[in-house]
Amino acid sequence: MRAIISCCAAAALCAAGPARAQTSAATPAFAEQMRQLERQRLDAMVRGDRAFADRITADDYHLVSPFGTIDDKAAELRSLEGHFYLSLTPGPIAVRRAGPDGAILRYVIDAIVRLRAGPHQARYWHTDYYERRGGRWEVVWSQSTEIRAATPAPPARRPG
């Protein structure tokens, strides 16, 4: 799964173009600005604030979900109408600068989402790629991977 996240981040950097292919540690002020923006986005998703989500989500947005789907902006906005996100509680958010107009955020999030079978609670690794477009930050790509408890190895078989 780490490979998927790495590929997502690498693809985001390549898509940003050669001038923006370098990442670096974010300054404390920039990192905090991006953390606040992400917390506002998560809060809007739980509240079902479609207007805010529409403004902060790029038109070419894609989410690689932990359920194996790739959802676009329209699907993400529809999920808000159905109150899919019941609770989103992020842990510490790491921020990397991706050139002058890009940022990559990574964190573990505890989430409760609404599925057909009822509420589903899980912990996920989450990565977002943001770009500054037209003077404002928009989330362009997201990727979530469910963190599952390690499955113990089966007992060794004895010969004979």
Instruction: Kindly state the tokens that stand for 83.
Output: 């109150």
- At 133, phi and psi to the nearest 5? -130, 130
Choose between 25 and 136: higher pLDDT: 136
The alpha carbon of residue 90 and the mean position of all alpha carbons in its chain are separated, in whole angstroms, by 11
Per-residue model confidence as pLDDT tens digits over 142-156: 999 999 876 666 676
Q: For the chain, which domains are there?
A: 2-146 (3.10.450.50)
Mean pLDDT for all residues in the chain: 86
Residues 100, 137: Cα–Cα separation, whole Å = 12
Per-residue model confidence as pLDDT tens digits over 80-130: 988 999 999 999 999 999 999 999 999 999 999 998 889 999 999 999 999
- At 130, phi and psi to the nearest 5? -110, 145
Inform me whether the pLDDT recorded for 9 exceeds 60: no
Cα Rg of the chain (Å, integer)? 17
Pairing of the two strands 136-146 and 57-64: parallel
Which DSSP string do the residues of 31-83 spell out, in sequence order? HHHHHHHHHHHHHHHHHT-HHHHHHHEEEEEEEE-TTS-EEEHHHHHHHHHTT
pTM: 0.79
Question: Within the chain, how many helices (H) and strands (E) appear?
Answer: 4, 8
Contact 54, 66 (CB under 8 A): no
Residue 18: pLDDT band with limits 50, 70, 90: very low
Residue pointed to by tokens 């990559």: 104
